[in-house]
Amino acid sequence: MRFAWLALRNLARNRRRTATTLAVVAAGTLALVLTAGFVAYSFDGLAEAMIHGGLGHLEVAPAAAVEARGAAALDRPLEHALAGWEGLRERLEALPHVAAVGANLQVMGMAQGPQGASVSFVGVGAEPDRARRMGFEKKLRAGELLPETAPREGEEAALVALGLAGALGVAPGDIVTLLATDAGGSLNALDVRVAGLVTTGVQELDSRYLELHLAAAQRLVGAGLASNLLVGLDETEATGEALAAVRAAVAGEQPPLAVVPWTERALFYEQVRNLYRGIFWFLGTIVFLLVVLATSNTLAMTVMERMRELGTLRAIGTGRGQLAAMILAEALWLGLLGSLAGCLLGVAAIAGINRAGVKMPPPPGAVDPIDLRLAYVPEAFAGALLLMLAVLAVAALAPVARAVRLSIVDALGHV
């Protein structure tokens, strides 16, 4: 600490070079906090999109169905469907943080349009009122959403994904015939009116997806059945706590039930997360190397230019450790001041980018453009600051070694 003030004063010797070095450190810090902000916002956005796109926070499904296809599978075999689940739903909805519990019944089969086109579909029978309470979002592109009340027989309606609607050649108001086998293996047919056209946000799924009211799906494949119960929470952060509570609530149910958190079902989320983490560390490594190279050159110049002065300081009793501390302190000041400037720039840049409302092209496989938005990640700001201090300490190693090894006599005679 004794030399910290002297090190700070030394930065004023060559103001232009100090300013350039600070700019390099600030730019490195800025790159890290912006990237971290983008990654964090993307993670949060993707997680919420998946949860509120129909995954829910938790899934309660027959353990046999989960074992049969794995926790990550989105479809649950009809032969393991739940029956008599209404009482369980009531108990689950009474738990803390649970916003609603919606029953889903998955159906698969063939859909036939009015012109005779037949396309295989995957559908889900859902409860629109529960879906609304769970915050599920439907991306309606034409027509209207399903009514919340169960349809009367002969008045069933469906939301058809854009790709499937295109293949069937249907628009809102048209009738589509759905063919599916029920739990007993018999083939059933159901005529449904196209209420609206939607997108799931995923091109591949859009080519096959449709949604019915739970009651309509039950008429097609089995009265009273549900493939699973989806649990929506009031906040995603409560997932862990709610998971434990729901598992406790379903313990002892027969047939046994499994509770699967959204993180285990959203394989795509984990893949994206791993990809972004890889990109972030790759970028971090590049920034680290660039800043080390740029600043080590500056610090080496600093030592070279002050050889006689360093020799004088050694001559009048400055120890090698004290000299090393002084040069290291100069480097750390550069790291501290530069990274603080980078953090301030980062705060301003994040605010500016978020306010600008910039749109980015849809990610691969997605349908809609996405907003370019960045999150403030306090850990990233602190981490970038600490990283820059470490970078400057590493950059100072060679100059420090040179300074402490110098011969006093040679240094005093240095020109």
Partner 1 sequence: MTPSSAPLLRTEGVVRRYRSGASEVTALAGVDLEIAAGEIAVVAGPSGSGKSTLLHLLGALDAADAGRVLFEGADLGALAERQRTLLRRRRLGFVFQAFHLVPVLSALENVEYPLLLDGVGRAERRRRAAEMLDAVGLAARLGHRPDRLSGGERQRVAIARALVHRPAAVLADEPTGNLDSRTAGAVLDLLADLNRSLGTTFLIATHDAALIARTPRRIVLADGRIVADSGRAA
Which of the stretches 74-82, 253-261, 267-275, 316-324 binds partner 1 when contact is defined by CB under 8 A? 316-324
Q: Is the dihedral of CA 362, 365, 367, 373 positive or negative?
A: negative
| 10 near partner 1, rule: CB under 8 A | yes
Compose the 281-310 pattern: x for residues touching partner 1 by CB under 8 A, - for all others: ---------------------------xx-
Tally: H helices and E strands in the chain: 15, 14
User: Under rule CB under 8 A, which residues in 192-251 are in contact with partner 1?
Assistant: none
Interface with partner 1 (CB under 8 A), residue from 94, 301, 315, 358 = 315
User: Under rule CB under 8 A, which residues in 248-267 are in contact with partner 1?
Assistant: none
Nearer to partner 1, 211 or 330 (CB): 330
User: Under rule CB under 8 A, which residues in 354-413 are in contact with partner 1?
Assistant: 407-409, 412
Exposed e or buried b per residue across 367-376, where buried means at least 16 C-beta atoms within 10 angstroms of its C-beta: beebeebbbb
Nearer to partner 1, 188 or 312 (CB): 312
- The two tokens of residue 44 are 């949060």
Nearer to partner 1, 192 or 325 (CB): 325
Residues with Cβ within 8 Å of residue 251, at least 6 apart in sequence: none
In the complex, least distance from residue 388 CB atom to partner 1, rounded to whole angstroms: 24
In the complex, least distance from residue 6 CB atom to partner 1, rounded to whole angstroms: 7
Interface with partner 1 (CB under 8 A), residue from 112, 177, 312, 354 = 312
| 19 near partner 1, rule: CB under 8 A | no
In the complex, least distance from residue 341 CB atom to partner 1, rounded to whole angstroms: 21
- Residue 253 buriedness (CB in 10 A; 0-12 / 13-18 / 19+): middle
Cα atoms in the Cβ-side hemisphere of radius 13 Å centred on 350: 25
Which of the stretches 2-10, 238-246, 265-273, 382-390 binds partner 1 when contact is defined by CB under 8 A? 2-10
Interface with partner 1 (CB under 8 A), residue from 318, 344, 354, 393 = 318
Q: Is the dihedral of CA 192, 197, 200, 204 positive or negative?
A: positive
**What is the crossing angle of helices 320-356 and 307-315, to 10°?**
130
| 320 near partner 1, rule: CB under 8 A | yes
Nearer to partner 1, 266 or 313 (CB): 313
Size of the site for partner 1 (CB under 8 A): 22
Nearer to partner 1, 336 or 412 (CB): 412
Which of the stretches 65-73, 122-130, 254-262, 317-325 binds partner 1 when contact is defined by CB under 8 A? 317-325
Q: Is the dihedral of CA 205, 207, 209, 210 positive or negative?
A: positive
Interface with partner 1 (CB under 8 A), residue from 116, 185, 254, 316 = 316
In the complex, least distance from residue 403 CB atom to partner 1, rounded to whole angstroms: 14
Q: Is 256 helix (H, G, I), strand (E, B) or coil?
A: coil
In the complex, least distance from residue 337 CB atom to partner 1, rounded to whole angstroms: 16
End-to-end CA distance of the chain: 31
In the complex, least distance from residue 333 CB atom to partner 1, rounded to whole angstroms: 13
Which secondary structure element, helix H or strand E, spans residue 9, and what is its range? helix 4-10
157-161 and 209-213 strand pairing: antiparallel
Task: Judge whether 299 and 399 are in contact, CB under 8 Å.
Answer: yes
Residues with Cβ within 8 Å of residue 151, at least 6 apart in sequence: 157, 213, 215, 216
Report how far residue 65's alpha carbon sits from residue 356's, in angstroms, rounded to the nearest whole number: 47
Q: Which residue ranges make up the site for partner 1 (CB under 8 A)?
A: 2, 6, 9-10, 12-13, 308-309, 312-320, 322, 407-409, 412
